[in-house]
Each structure stands twice: as structure tokens, then as C-alpha cells.
Amino acid sequence: MNTVYFDSDANEAERRSGLYAGQLYVYSPTESGLELCKLAQDMCSEAFHPHFPPDAQHHLDVDQYVEILKTLKPKFIHHPECKRLIPKLLEELGCELEHTYFDVPRLRTACSGDYLSSGLAYAFKPHRDTWYSTPMAQLNWWLPVYPITSENSMAFHPNYWNKPVQNSSSLFNYQDWNVGGRKSAEKQVGKDTRVQSAALEPMKLEPQTRLVTKPGGVIAFSAAQMHSTVPNTSELTRFSIDFRTVDSRDTQTNDGAVNVDSECGGTTMMDYLRGSDLEHFPDSEIKRHEMLASVAQYPTPQHLVEAELADSEA
């Protein structure tokens, strides 16, 4: 069973447990969430001037559009304001910054119809982020930049929370992909040929849950959630921001969601910055996670091992 909590009063530890158990948490706009969206809106307005960004696809040919995204997306990702606003936002949502590590935010676009659904606007088919070398403790935070509707949102597929899916994550290694994959994204107009982790069996997309929040509002979910970009049948491009976090208390103990089917190599641990001072994880901790991944099996989270031991002792 999946539960969606709206503006939950749960403390951070309870929320992490809930997220690792498959629950979803939705928050109303906060001051820093709104500021982060405003930053993205201003950058989009400038890039697509004189068009309203969600409508710009109807006024530009696809090559021009890709050219604009090629500059806009990295500019947002590396904007110094993001490194100030994300820790503030996390603090507003109750995170303890000395334990919470975050990565740079992505600005994503989901165009209406089949205008552009590859490369820089890759339409994510159902997937778990854990198929992309993340620790099982990774949490995702997602914000719409402009108002969205169900028709241009994202979907969760709760039936797959506990259910393994045949997938190609064993072919994915984050370190290799970083060298060859992301750099070629801007060249991929039309058909996307980069190696992405994907399901290798037909997926049942129903039932699905779509959450519609206001700009500056946040949806938090475990990286192990099966989710997808919905086919955009609205007339408007969806712009969204997402970033991920891990809590060092959980990465240290290999805690997090249960791994039902991820087998990728490599780790994303070098990407996260500590909320309190923007420090990276120590090299030894990054290497340890790389080693765990190299055997293609994340260990069972410690609390489950303990629960099992307690069971067998009883």
C-alpha cells in the first residue's frame, strides 16, 4: 500500500522511513521553493524571449529549441544561487543539513506531443532511479516550475514498489555513462541511442498516481519508486526541477529502500554535497559504495538484517 502525505508533520527520521517504505510526501510551496522556481522562470523567460516558455515549442523549430536548451539547462544546473537555495529549502522541510547531502538540481522539459522526446528532453519511460547507480538511500525532490496539470505531470507506478522487473541496469555503470553518455545528449535529436537502464518486460502502467502541486511545492519520493514522464497531451511544455539527497547516517549503514531489482555498477556518491558546508563525502566512503556496486548487489539494509535476526531468535 502506498500512502501520499500532504504537508506531513512527521519528523525527518519518520519521513525517511516512510519514503524508504514507498510512501510519498507532498509539500505546499515554501519560501525557498518559490525562490528556486522564480530563478528557473527568469532564466527560461530570458532564454525563450519573447515567448512564454511553456508555449515556446509552438513557435520555434526543433533545432532552435535544442540550441536554447543546450545553453539553458547547464546554466541552471550550475547557477550559484541553486547551491544556496537548495539547502535552505531542505531546512524548511525539516532536514538536518549536517547529515543531508544533495546534488545539483536538474531542469527538465517534457514537450507536448512528439515535438521532442529524446536527448536533452529525454522522456523517461518507467524506471527507478536506483537503476542508475544511486545508493538505496537516495531521495528525490521534484518541483514544477510553472503550473502543471495531470496531462503534463509525472506518474508513479505503485504496483512495482515490491515487485522486481527484468531490466538492463546490469549494463549501466554511472562512471562509464558520465564519460560517454551525458556529453552526447545534445546530439541526440530524434532517436536516443545512449545506453539507459530500462525495463526489459512489458510494463503495466495502471494503476498510476499523478500528483499535481503548485510551482514551488515539492514531491518527495524514494529513488526506488517506479516512475515515468507521462505522455504530454496538454498543449504546454512541462518545466520541472529535481534534485536528490542522501542522509549520511543511512549511507553509512547501507540503509534505505529494499533493492528489488537494481544491478548497476558505479555509484553517484561523489555527486552529493553536504548541506551545511558543501563538502563532498570522503573518498573512502565513495570507494566503499563503488565496491558494493561492483558486486552488483546492495546488501540488505541493516534494520532488515536485525529484524530477521530478532525473528529467528524469538
Q: Under the rule (CB under 5 A), what is the footprint of Fe ion?
A: 129
Shortest distance (Å) from residue 19 CB to Fe ion: 14
Is the CB of 48 or the CB of 240 nearer to Fe ion? 240
Among residues 23 and 140, whose Cβ is nearest to Fe ion? 140
Q: Which residue has the cell 544491478?
A: 263
End-to-end CA distance of the chain: give it in Å, rounded.
27
Q: Cβ closer to Fe ion: 47 or 145?
A: 145
Give me the least distance between CB of 196 and Fe ion, in Å please. Answer: 11
Distance CA 12, CA 148 (A): 27
In the numeric block, which cell numbers belong to residue 67? 540550441
* CB-nearer residue toward Fe ion: 65 or 141: 141
Min. distance of Cβ 127 from Fe ion in angstroms?
6
Q: Which is closer to Fe ion, CB of 129 or CB of 271?
A: 129
CB 262, min distance to Fe ion, A? 13
Q: In what order do the strands lie in the sheet with 154-156?
A: 209-210, 154-156, 227-229
Indicate the helix (H) or strand (E) that contains 229. Answer: strand 227-229
Distance of closest approach, residue 129 Cβ to Fe ion, in angstroms: 5
What is the grid cell recorded at 243?
A: 534534485
Q: Which residue is nearest to Fe ion (CB)?
A: 129
Evaluate whether 209 touches 24 at the Cβ level (below 8 Å): yes
Count the Cβ atoms, other than its own, within 10 Å of residue 128.
26
State the minimum distance, in angstroms, from the CB of residue 307 to Fe ion: 29
Q: How far, CA to CA in Å, does 4 sit from each of 38, 110, 209?
A: 26, 24, 10
Cβ–Cβ < 8 Å for 260, 136: no
The length of the chain, given as a count of residues: 314
Q: Which is nearer to Fe ion, 47 or 153 (CB)?
A: 153
B/e letters for 268-281, b = 16+ CB within 10 Å, e = fewer, are bbbbbbbbeeeeeb
Residues 6+ apart with CB under 8 A from 74: none
Q: Which is nearer to Fe ion, 129 or 250 (CB)?
A: 129
- The least CB distance from residue 219 to Fe ion, in Å, is 12
